[in-house]
Structure 1
Amino acid sequence: MAQAPGSAPPPAGGTPHAAPRHVTLRWSAVGLVLLGGAAGVAAREGLSLAVPDVDEVPVVIPLVNLLAAFVLGYLYEGVARALPGTPLAGRLKLLVGTGFCGGLSTYSSLATDTAVLLDHSRGGVAVLYALGTVVVGALATLAGIALGSRLHPHQPDAHELRRIEGHADTSPAHGRTS
């Protein structure tokens, strides 16, 4: 097997590796994430200033984390059902999911607040604060998924039913499903 000039020799196994794929950064995607993130951080900060701590326990941090978990569950289920594979779906996921929910939620602050509670000899409150947020956050995500699936029911068409049932020909030779 002849080697192209300037190329690396094949590895010891004899088969050359595929060339690494070049990832293109899309500035519009970065802009959507930045815009959503700025709005999420601003919302979290506004809530932190407006809502006082309860017995020296910051309540805003768990609340924003729960809200972000719910919105993410709803967004991804609702978008997957209502706008599958569309450019709008991708933009919504970047703007609201990655950007807004990423800026709104803050598990680093949850960890810091938990450490402060532990440092102040409030171990029971710290455990409830941390574990409660994570467990209720998982339930909030499930609730968002349930709401997304309820508000955006998906009725498969005949083509999709054939594919699901295994009757569609999805071989590469045909290039499409039947």
Structure 2
Amino acid sequence: MILTLLQVALGGALGASARYLTGVGMTALMGKTFPWGTLTVNILGSFLMGVLVVTLANFSATRYAPLLMIGFLGGFTTFSSFSLDFATLYERGDIPLAIGYAAVSVLVSITALFAGLLLTRSLFA
């Protein structure tokens, strides 16, 4: 149990650090007018979740799920930040932008997860 907890903690620290750096990078590239960092990590994290589900299963490596899926991707993806970003856009009066942001975040992230599953399954077929 303690080793699993340490895996989750290490993965979470690395994932949160990667999320922060992604946010900084996206703000530098795209500006502060839209939460590009949060959108990016949610889509990328969903894709990677799909890749990891298939990869870990195919290599009988599910023992790394606490480190990679729960820890790293749990720290990397940001649905709590997503919710705050939505509220911020909404409260500043950008309601169409807030709704569009929510729709794109959910739909593209789910699509990215399926893309990760399909791509990785094709590699192991």
What is the TM-score of this pair, normalised by structure 1?
0.66
Residue 105 of structure 1 is matched in structure 2 by 77
> 35, 40, 64: which is aligned to 1:63?
40
Residue 39 of structure 1 is matched in structure 2 by 14
Native 8 Å contact 1:78 1:145 kept in 2: no
Q: Give the number of equivalent residue pairs.
A: 123
Superposition deviation, residue 55 in structure 1: 5.7
Measure, in 1, the Cα distance between the counterparts of 2:9 and 2:43.
Answer: 21
- Which structure features the higher share of helix residues? 2
Name the Cα RMSD after superposition.
1.3
Secondary structure at the counterpart of residue 143 of structure 1:
helix
Q: Mark the runs of 5 or more structure 1 residues left unpaired by the alignment.
A: 1-25, 84-88, 154-178
Report 1:85-164 matches (<5 A). 89-153=61-125
- Select the structure with the greater relative contact order (CA < 8 A; seq sep ≥ 6): 2
Q: Kindly, what percent of the aligned residue pairs are identical?
A: 32
Native 8 Å contact 2:46 2:113 kept in 1: yes
Q: Mark the runs of 5 or more structure 2 residues left unpaired by the alignment.
A: none
Q: After the TM superposition, list the runs of 4 or more consecutive aligned residues in structure 1 that deviate by more than 3 angstroms.
A: none
Superposition deviation, residue 105 in structure 1: 0.4
Superposition deviation, residue 147 in structure 1: 1.3
What is the TM-score of this pair, normalised by structure 2?
0.92
Measure, in 2, the Cα distance between the counterparts of 1:151 and 1:97.
Answer: 20
Superposition deviation, residue 91 in structure 1: 2.5
Secondary structure at the counterpart of residue 35 of structure 2:
coil
Measure, in 2, the Cα distance between the counterparts of 1:30 and 1:75.
Answer: 19
Larger gyration radius, structure 1 or structure 2: 1
Measure, in 2, the Cα distance between the counterparts of 1:145 and 1:109.
Answer: 25
Measure, in 1, the Cα distance between the counterparts of 2:48 and 2:92.
Answer: 33
List per-residue Cα deviations over 1:108-143 (Å, max 9, x = no partner): 111111111011111111011111100000000000
Native 8 Å contact 1:40 1:99 kept in 2: yes
